Structure 1
Amino acid sequence: MLRPAFAALAFATAAASLFTVSTADARSSRGEPLRVELPTRFAQCPQFFANGQPPQVPRQPALRELCYEAFAILHSGTTRTPVYVAQRLNRRLIEDADEKRADRFFADARLPRDERAELEDYKGSGYSRGHMAPAGDMPTSSAMAQSFSLANMVPQNIQHNSGAWAKIEQDTRRYVLRAQGDVFVITGPVFTRESERIGPHGVRVPTYLYKLVYDAITGHAWAHWQANHEGDRVSRPISYAELVERTGIEFLPGRMD
């Protein structure tokens, strides 16, 4: 079993101070993507991973690490979406969550143009811009603004996003409020041969979405696995081992079942 990871409490303040412009504006006066100066190596934001160890992902091209104030992303320039998004949550962070929702989506300028999604990709696509790290989890206004980065989004069925998936996000927050310590949450998309692409830059649409929840105090881990289509109800959670088998990702390296 992994030992609980203890975050550097000063990170959020330090990370927020690295912004060169306000994330509340999301785009420059010329409409260019917001440029931020946050770390781009997981070694600089280990607090988002259980025991400080990022998931082990099969080798693939165009992967980039991105740190934000309240989450970390492994981004794929091939799909122009996250591979996964990692969070560390606890009762204090959820209680501090900023209830004032930002709504300014932006393309993260830390990603090369030929690897990132743009606002125009989602326009008229019929899909919502689905948060992987939910806006409702964000403890500060700056973290809330950062959660609207398109690097944190996947094309998601609109009804699923506001229905079953929203309930999973709410249920996860309720669990964190009852937990005795840190809960690590990893969320991401799964693609199949049937996965289509949208927009002029070809953002890939996931066939499935998953959310892994790991209680670092109890060692209990489970995952939600949902098809990305209309009318899908919240399905029964699957085991950690089953999630690893389905995705090929070792989300909790060194974990003992």
Structure 2
Amino acid sequence: MMSAISRLLASSSWSVLLQKSLHFLLNMLRFHTGAAVLALTAAWVCQADVGDFTPCERFFYNAWPPKGLVGAAICQRYLNKYHFASLYDRHRRTPSYSAYLFSPADTKRPHTHWKYEPQLAYAKADGNMIPFPPGPVDQNVVQSQAIELDYINSSYTRGHLSPSLHHSDDIDKCATFTLTNVVPQKGPSNDGPWAAFEKDIKNRLTSYCAKEAYIVTGVIPYQKDRWIKGDRVAIPEYLWSAYCCPSYNTSIPANLTQAFPTYAAIGRNDPNSTEEIVPVDKTRPKKYLGYDVRLMSLKTLEMYLQDRLGTVFSVFYNGCST
């Protein structure tokens, strides 16, 4: 029961006023219920002190964030503007997912600094992401999130969940280069089948989506967490992505009629994973062997997420049905 209450308190849909009232009540009860309430209070502090998605609801279809996971809700803010949203897993020091509005883009990948989220380290910090300093990093930042040193010489690349390729504005692109938007991703996945998938989605939505397209991209952890640099950053076994295009044109070719208004995919991040979720194409070049991406319906994706994450997970409001 206490874990259920903790999940409710971590939900971004609760108002600040209600959270403060409940916090007061918990403090009153703490003297009577002991360790259970202390554990609940600790869970709340760890999961709900960054904020909620209210300032950046426009990045979610029908202003409705995915349901089923708790974490630190980050409205990714850079140069005083919101660019996308991420649900951050403090324990694993990776985002569980990032959500954004697709914008047709032809510009190149920007040259920019990697950034971090100061509010994860200091609750009263300014809400803008900022570049890492050239020297030592504040220990509160080190403890609260991934830092550049975690990825250096780790054999993993920094895999974007909200990729710069899917944004047209230069500042939007630069904002994706924050470590609260990336996960450890093997190079042959990041530069191979997953990169090809991102380009295919870019071309598809640019050609056939008439208005807004909403994308959510996330991770599936190993059933027993694996890490880089000791226990610093958790490695995902799979990446997943889904889009919602409520309004699309009528010139869609026959082979893509099942891909609108929604479609989804799961990509392998480990060539040695079993093939129950994503089969391996044995004809791929050796470099990319085992890093396949499987396209699927939104319902099929949610079925796998429910099975692996142990929770009923809904990506889009009403399944992106208009």
TM-score category by the smaller chain? 0.7 to 0.9
Q: Tell me which residue corresponds to 1:245.
A: 303
- Matching of residues 94-243 of structure 1 within 5 Å: 94-95=104-105, 98-112=107-121, 113=141, 114-178=143-207, 179-199=209-229, 202-218=232-248, 220-229=261-270, 231-232=289-290, 234-243=292-301
Helix, strand or coil: the match of 1:191?
Answer: strand
> By how many angstroms is 1:161 displaced?
0.3
Alignment partner of 1:71 out of 68, 72, 84: 84
> By how many angstroms is 1:78 displaced?
1.2
AA paired with 2:233? V
Q: 1:171 and 1:198, CA in 2 relative to 1: closer, same or farther beyond 3 A? A: same
> By how many angstroms is 1:256 displaced?
7.0
Q: Tell me which residue corresponds to 1:10.
A: none
Helix, strand or coil: the match of 1:237?
Answer: strand
**Structure 1 Cα separation of the partners of residues 241 and 111 of structure 2:** 23
**Structure 2 Cα separation of the partners of residues 98 and 168 of structure 1:** 18
Question: Could you say which structure has the higher helix fraction?
Answer: 2
Q: Conserved in 1, the CA contact under 8 Å of 2:239 and 2:267?
A: yes
The question of 1:46 aligning with 2:57 is answered: yes
Q: 1:143 and 1:78, CA in 2 relative to 1: closer, same or farther beyond 3 A? A: same
AA paired with 1:252? F
**Structure 2 Cα separation of the partners of residues 256 and 71 of structure 1:** 19
**Structure 1 Cα separation of the partners of residues 171 and 298 of structure 2:** 32
> By how many angstroms is 1:102 displaced?
2.3
Aligned-pair identity (%): 23
| Number of corresponding residues | 213
**Structure 1 Cα separation of the partners of residues 205 and 69 of structure 2:** 30
AA paired with 1:198? I
> Structure 2, unaligned stretches of length 5 or more?
1-49, 122-140, 249-259, 272-288, 307-312
Helix, strand or coil: the match of 2:100?
Answer: strand
1 or 2 for the larger relative contact order (CA 8 Å, sep ≥6)? 1
* CA RMSD in angstroms, aligned pairs only: 2.2
AA paired with 1:41? D
Greater gyration radius: 2
Q: 1:100 and 1:63, CA in 2 relative to 1: closer, same or farther beyond 3 A? A: closer
